[in-house]
Chain A
Amino acid sequence: MGIGTGTAAEAGIRLTEISLAYGEGRERRQVLQGISLDLPPDDFVCVLGPSGCGKSSLLHMIAGYLQPTEGTVSINGVPHRKPDPQVGVVFQHDNLFPWLTISGNVAFGLRMAGIPKKERKRRTADYLSLVGLDAAASLLPHQLSGGMKQRAALARTLAAQPSIVLMDEPFSALDALTRETMQQHLIGIWQRTRTCIFFITHDVDEALLLGRRILVMQAGSGRFVEDFANPLCQAESGLPLHELRAAKDYIPLRQRLLQSIVRDRTTT
């Protein structure tokens, strides 16, 4: 089983014994310890945790922005240490290039990859229509609403055709109504593209709606305290939002997750 043979066991993202610590000596603070995780190529995984639990650091390590103190990240069996187009990232704030039009932003990754203009135009148009922004193609980012900007950011990330899309609380800066619309959009996009999504959130309802698999982190625990397949996620159950929230398992599950993310805070 050599490198790059891409056997079934190696397909997707694999984290092996990832640890992260800051500082030296007495000041040393262990943020993450011994995290191992397999992410199949087409899954939708939600990482749920309170702020400061290290979930963003984990995302930064998968993206290659941050090096783990120990352990490795590999994609299809190949170690991944530097940011590259295989791992797409959608940030909390849209992070679009303000001097480029929306289509210029979406085409950015394709331009960097040296894809010919004709092909670039076609693919840009495809991804713009995937996120429903055909009409905004020639606008500049500052002319768009917050939700539209995040859709453009998602289109830009998907257009580079990454193996995985990391999303760092992408909807947390949006108002509640826009957030719900965006969640519905994202589910639809995932169902059409089946690109692996690694979604970070501190919102239990968001995790329950989106994640086929939910990983839970506690503040200070530095590892996952729960890892389960979510029977309620909309992509699986197909239930509309109001029915989903009214399902009989919903409240107990929500309660349990809330408790497990705050447990640590109440005991310390």
Chain B
Amino acid sequence: MNPLFLPSPAEVWSAFGDIARQGYKGSTLPGHIGASLRRIAIAMAFVFVTAVPLGIVCGRSRWVRAVFDPIIEFYRPLPPLAYYSLLVLWFGIGDTSKVVLLFLSGFAPMFIAAVYSARRIPVDRINGARTLGANGLKLYAFVVFPSCLPDLLTGLRTSVGVTYATLVAAEMVAAISGIGWVVLDASKYLRIDIIYAVIIIMGIIAILIDSAIRLLIRRVSPWIEH
């Protein structure tokens, strides 16, 4: 078989050995992974602090939902590459536009999970809490947020997944680091062995991230059957 289509495991392994030892074009392998994970982490942190409060408020109020839902439903199905060049125009070719792209792809699933989680809180739980003196912000901090948390973490799983899937697109323009960029760059030179090696690394990282979140869900909500 032509090794261009399917390199032998030995070749992939040696490509992995090469990039692990020597790095790839200026950065070490951990450096590339770190650059990508840093972008994802910053994007997800922004997703969590914006999509969660907005989603919960939208879930609790029909009026607020009527304002934000159409906007989010409009941009959500757009392919990220369609508006990426706009983001580059607005935010420059540095890291900001990449993080914004990841943020936008992760925002919608997190928002939808937050709306759903807030709407699912039993009325009796809210009523009971108000009877026990939880009002206003106290109600949100001590009852609504903890009630939503298991669903929010499940939403985080989906959201990280979508963000991760957008990573290669985000590292397409003017990047010199990141594992998404490594795959793109290697494909320019038809380094099929490196492409396979990096795809396997990406898969393993994705599984590790997902397992970490699932572990967190089990720790945070032991009463829910998984």
Q: Which residues of B are found within 8 Å of A157, using beta-carbon distances?
A: 131-132
Rounded to whole angstroms, the CA-CA distance of A85 and B127 in the bound complex is 11
**Minimum C-beta distance from B221 to chain A (A):** 7
Instruction: For A65, give its contact among B122, B127, B133 (CB under 8 Å).
Output: B127
Verify B223–A97 contact, CB threshold 8 A: no
Binary interface encoding of chain B residues 118-130 relative to chain A, with 1 for a CB under 8 A from any of its CBs, else 0: 0000101101111
Verify A98–B223 contact, CB threshold 8 A: yes
Give the interface centre of B122, B129, B131, B133 by most chain A CB atoms within 10 Å.
B131
Chain A interface residue count, Cβ-Cβ cutoff 8 angstroms? 27
Is A112 in contact with chain B by the CB < 8 A criterion? Answer: yes
Interface pick from A1-9, A71-79, A86-94, A235-243: A86-94
Contacts A95-B122, A99-B221: A83 and B143 contacting too (C-beta < 8 A)? Answer: no
Q: Which residues of B are found within 8 Å of A122, using beta-carbon distances?
A: none
Instruction: For B130, give its contact among A83, A93, A95, A113 (CB under 8 Å).
Output: A83
Instruction: For B149, give its contact among A99, A111, A142, A156 (CB under 8 Å).
Output: A99
Q: Which residues of B are found within 8 Å of A142, using beta-carbon distances?
A: 222-223
Verify A83–B131 contact, CB threshold 8 A: yes
Give the number of A-B contacts (CB < 8 Å). 62
Rounded to whole angstroms, the CA-CA distance of A141 and B221 in the bound complex is 12
Instruction: For B132, give its contact among A64, A65, A91, A156 (CB under 8 Å).
Output: A156
Is A146 in contact with chain B by the CB < 8 A criterion? Answer: no
Verify A89–B127 contact, CB threshold 8 A: yes
Is B9 in contact with chain A by the CB < 8 A criterion? Answer: no
Which chain B residues have a beta carbon within 8 Å of chain A's beta carbons? 122, 124-125, 127-134, 138, 142-143, 146-147, 149, 220-223
Verify B223–A109 contact, CB threshold 8 A: no
Binary interface encoding of chain A residues 96-114 relative to chain B, with 1 for a CB under 8 A from any of its CBs, else 0: 0111000000001101110
Verify B124–A113 contact, CB threshold 8 A: no
Q: Is the interface of B mostly helix, strand, loop or mixed?
A: helix
Q: Is the interface of A mostly helix, strand, loop or mixed?
A: loop
Q: Which residues of A are found within 8 Å of B124, using beta-carbon distances?
A: 91, 93, 95
Q: Which residues of A are found within 8 Å of B142, using beta-carbon distances?
A: 108, 111-112
Instruction: For A140, give its contact among B129, B138, B223 (CB under 8 Å).
Output: B223
Q: Which residues of B are found within 8 Å of A64, using beta-carbon distances?
A: 131
Q: Which residues of B are found within 8 Å of A97, using beta-carbon distances?
A: 125, 129, 143, 146-147
Rounded to whole angstroms, the CA-CA distance of A84 and B135 in the bound complex is 9
Verify B138–A112 contact, CB threshold 8 A: yes
Rounded to whole angstroms, the CA-CA distance of A88 and B125 in the bound complex is 13
Verify B223–A160 contact, CB threshold 8 A: no
| CB nearest neighbor in A for B125 | A95
Q: Which residues of B are found within 8 Å of A83, using beta-carbon distances?
A: 127, 130-131
Q: Which residues of A are found within 8 Å of B146, using beta-carbon distances?
A: 97, 99
**Minimum C-beta distance from B130 to chain A (A):** 4
Instruction: For B133, give its contact among A63, A89, A99, A109 (CB under 8 Å).
Output: A109
| CB nearest neighbor in B for A111 | B142
Verify A113–B122 contact, CB threshold 8 A: no
Rounded to whole angstroms, the CA-CA distance of A135 and B101 in the bound complex is 52
| CB nearest neighbor in B for A83 | B130
Instruction: For A87, give its contact among B131, B149, B220 (CB under 8 Å).
Output: B131
The 6 A-B residue pairs with the shortest CB-CB distance in the complex, in nearest-first order: A112-B133, A142-B223, A109-B132, A83-B130, A98-B223, A83-B131
Sample of 6 further A-B pairs with CB below 8 A, known A99-B223, A108-B134 = A83-B130, A95-B122, A98-B223, A99-B221, A108-B142, A157-B132
| CB nearest neighbor in B for A159 | B132
Q: Which residues of A are found within 8 Å of B149, using beta-carbon distances?
A: 99
User: Which residues in window 136-165 of A have CB below 8 A to B?
Assistant: 140-142, 156-157, 160
